[in-house]
Structure 1
């Protein structure tokens, strides 16, 4: 799931992603719900899940989860997939390969975006701390591929935009695999980055 207000143009150099772009503040608000966000990552990773399976992920009953899935469907975030198995319950799938918030009304959507970003950061924090505290011999081979980095740079608007688009282009080249199609030896990897101007009151002093 893309970060709020990222740029769709960032994918132009690679194969363009089929993005679900949220511009309506009401759609952004609808997304920023714990139960809905709990299944968004799974669906946009390529999984097709029934309401019962989504409910197990979110800790809700199938009927309660169906309500949330229909709310996401209303805004074009998820959709019904083709029936599988006995066809008694059609699974749900993401309505695109990626999800991006690009509000046309930044002030109107600010509260919804703040909740959405906070939820995303909570999930990232849980994944990172879970990885650090739970590493074992089986995970040792992944150590040199793990990066947790943060820095502050003085950039122009154009430089920041170029950085955002360059990183997004790299991410767009990554293979899009569902869990069922993933080759042996792969595992889910969370890729997250932010390019965000620091508020004026929080500016750090220039190095001497």
Structure 2
């Protein structure tokens, strides 16, 4: 701004500068004296510098199924240590915090506009084991190993056998039945064969020369 000595200068007529993530405080000289409004142009002029205050920015965390993480509020260009921010998710390995394909780790500088971070996970292998529960051990199905939350088709598992018994299906230790298509849970499953004892029930049938007799007939 060039004007004659002792002329009137109106700083309020100037358009305030902008800086991403900061608020403009005003114009200051080298002695840190603020100048504003209308004043008289001094001999030798003035060198004025803008002064700024950093704005609050927010770093948010989308854990994508993990345990919740509170947002962090910090000033622009301050630092935050993301290694102190943790989340867990059963059956998964935490791979870090991302914005798109960019990973943020360790000490980061808070940018203007903040950050919206998302957790990235790798599903871990889980195992379904089978207990024939008295049945023929030779017919015990092999373990199924798949990653957490993948689809498992139990109808594709060959049913075990046990002489004099009818296989009713698979249950866990809590007596919950599993059949058809299920989702692999974190921690896997131990499935136990459920049987009907045909001999004890008196319903076991003998097939000889196409003649069927039940034990209850004797």
TM-score range, shorter chain: under 0.3
Larger Rg: 2
Q: So what's the TM-score if we normalise by structure 1? A: 0.23
Q: So what's the TM-score if we normalise by structure 2? A: 0.23
Q: Indicate the structure with greater strand content.
A: 2
Q: Indicate the structure with greater helix content.
A: 1
